[in-house]
Amino acid sequence: MDTLAHYTNKTPLATADQLRDQIISTRLAYKRIEFLFDYNHTKYNYLNINGGPLLKIDEDQPDAPPIKPNGLQALDELIFLDDIDSERNHINELSQELLKAVKFIEKSQTVHELEDFKLIEAIRSGIVRVFTLGVTGFDTPGSVNAISESEESLRVMLEAFQRFEVGLEGLAKKEYKSVIKLFQQGINQLQVQSFEEFDRMSFLRESINPLYKGLRNFVVLNKINTKQFKNHGQNYATDNLFDSEFLDSDFYQELSYMPLDNPQSIALGKVLFYDPILSHNLKMSCATCHAPEKAFTDGLPTSESNVKGRFTKRNAPTLINATYAKRYFHDLRSANLERQIPHVFDNPEEFNLSFSEAIKRLQKSDKYLQLFEDAYDGISNKSDINQRSISNALAAYVNTLVSFDSPFDQYVRNGNNSYPA
């Protein structure tokens, strides 16, 4: 980082080739620590070191001004522009900011013993990153140096895994050797193809998924503590990047009124989702803007309001896999599915109905009285029909709208032997 910052600030100016060589060298050096650094400092890495070259919002401070594109990805993109001279000042500014961020983490970092289960978790997360951000090219938007960086990442994770070699016996030793071979196989695959020619599907099926599974098997066979260090959505109990349980929806909805997997709540939520009883004019339902035949969107640039001919300011996103978001709405103002429901009620262009009025309507229905009793009887001292139970029921139904069993998913899980047409 020091060398890169020096290059962008030196007099006379470094040539474009010198800058490009240096950003490649800096990024390769970073790849040697990334799997551990991102695992331990995920948020800081995203916001300050290697987040995408886009506006970023600190989810813990959604009202704060957006953070402008910065870090290694932004520099990679700028330094490989054809007209690099027009961005010299910007490149220097970002390089100095990056150096400052690195110095800060160096001073604030506390050294901890790297426990075995944390190392394995970090490696498995690193493998996910290699496939999702590495070989896809997302991590290197300018240089497209994705293959070399992915190779370096796998190589250093192999070196880290080799610390487990001493003292292994029986099946654990056999699995260790198998994982070593898979690492080497993945590295070999990355060495022989260019970015354009790289066979990502073969890499996934032959190296990445087997490696991800092999590391899980090694944890079990070597009797490594499997408690999870990080509270996040990656389910380390899975064996495949495309496993239907790879993401843990409970993580994303952990602050809900009631667990979202209650069958009675789901059934109630589905009825409410399609019923216009929740809108002021009795003409809109959730399905008005999230139609199942349109992948739970409305297919419009911006959604229709409750007034004919008038449209809202934003479009309706799909609800498929919406449960896996950490924040909702463009400005990130809602923390989970349940909490975003009231915004639809409050919006004068959408339901435009108070919860007190919605509750009165629902309480007049014998059908809804029974459905709410089935789902929420005895949960609180309030009536079974209240703001939290209405929101929870709708969130419970939306939580079921997931898609992880397409022909592609089945193929990459090795469920099908032929690639879907």
Local confidence pLDDT in tens for the 421 residues of the chain? 677 766 677 656 788 999 999 999 999 999 999 999 999 899 999 999 998 888 888 877 877 888 999 999 999 999 999 999 899 999 999 999 999 999 999 888 766 678 899 999 999 999 999 999 999 999 999 999 999 999 999 999 999 999 999 989 999 999 999 999 999 999 999 998 789 999 999 999 999 999 999 999 999 999 988 776 677 788 888 999 999 889 988 888 877 888 899 999 999 999 999 999 999 999 999 999 999 999 999 999 999 988 888 888 888 999 999 999 888 887 778 888 899 999 999 999 999 999 999 999 999 999 999 999 999 998 877 789 999 999 999 999 999 999 988 888 888 887 667 776 6
- In the DSSP assignment, the letter for residue 6 is H
State the amino acid at position 54 in one-letter form: L
- Between CA 406 and CA 96 the distance in angstroms is 46
Contact 410, 244 (CB under 8 A): no
Nearest one of 68, 73, 77, 95 to 14, comparing CA atoms = 95
Which residues does 356 contact at the CB level (< 8 Å), separation at least 6?
Answer: none
The CATH number assigned to the domain holding 271 equals 1.10.760.10
- Between CA 390 and CA 269 the distance in angstroms is 8
pLDDT score for 420: 66
Q: Are residues 160 and 294 part of one domain?
A: no
Give the number of other CB atoms < 10 A from CB of residue 325.
16
- Between CA 320 and CA 399 the distance in angstroms is 9
Nearest one of 405, 409, 402 to 321, comparing CA atoms = 402
Q: Are residues 262 and 239 part of one domain?
A: no
- In the DSSP assignment, the letter for residue 245 is T
- Between CA 129 and CA 148 the distance in angstroms is 14
- Between CA 144 and CA 77 the distance in angstroms is 9
Burial 265-280 (b: 16+ CB within 10 A, else e): bbbbbbebbebeebbb
Burial 33-54 (b: 16+ CB within 10 A, else e): ebbbbbbbbeebbbbbbbbbbe
State the amino acid at position 175 in one-letter form: E
Burial 192-207 (b: 16+ CB within 10 A, else e): eeeeeebeeeebbbeb
Q: Which structure tokens are listed for 417? A: 């032997």
Q: Are residues 228 and 265 part of one domain?
A: no
pLDDT score for 160: 97
pLDDT score for 3: 73
- Between CA 157 and CA 171 the distance in angstroms is 22
Is residue 389 packed enough to be buried (19+ CB in 10 Å), middle (13-18) or exposed (0-12)?
buried
Which residues does 228 contact at the CB level (< 8 Å), separation at least 6?
Answer: 121, 236
Q: Which of 111, 145, 174 is the last residue of a domain?
A: 111
Q: Which structure tokens are listed for 219? A: 């944890």
E strands present in 141-184:
none
Q: Please state the domain count of the chain.
A: 3
Q: Cα dihedral sign for 197, 199, 200, 201? A: positive
Q: Are residues 259 and 378 part of one domain?
A: yes
Q: Are residues 378 and 255 part of one domain?
A: yes
Q: Which of 111, 126, 157 is the last residue of a domain?
A: 111
Specify the pTM.
0.86
Domain that holds residue 218: 113-246+407-421
Q: Are residues 75 and 146 part of one domain?
A: no
Q: Are residues 388 and 338 part of one domain?
A: yes
Q: What are phi and psi of 129, to 5 degrees?
A: -65, -40
Q: Which structure tokens are listed for 30? A: 């970073």
pLDDT score for 58: 84
Q: Are residues 258 and 369 part of one domain?
A: yes
Contact 300, 316 (CB under 8 A): yes
Q: Are residues 299 and 198 part of one domain?
A: no
Q: Are residues 306 and 366 part of one domain?
A: yes
Q: Are residues 289 and 198 part of one domain?
A: no
What are the beta bridge partners of residue 409? none
- Report CA-CA distances (Å) from 332 to 47, 199, 297, 298, 345: 16, 37, 19, 21, 17
Q: Are residues 267 and 232 part of one domain?
A: no
Give ∠ CA 33-35-38 in degrees, rounded to 5.
95
- Between CA 105 and CA 99 the distance in angstroms is 10
What are the beta bridge partners of residue 311? 304
Is residue 146 packed enough to be buried (19+ CB in 10 Å), middle (13-18) or exposed (0-12)?
buried
Q: Which of 85, 111, 137 is the last residue of a domain?
A: 111
pLDDT score for 136: 95
Contact 411, 420 (CB under 8 A): yes
3-state secondary structure of 159: helix
- Between CA 91 and CA 127 the distance in angstroms is 30
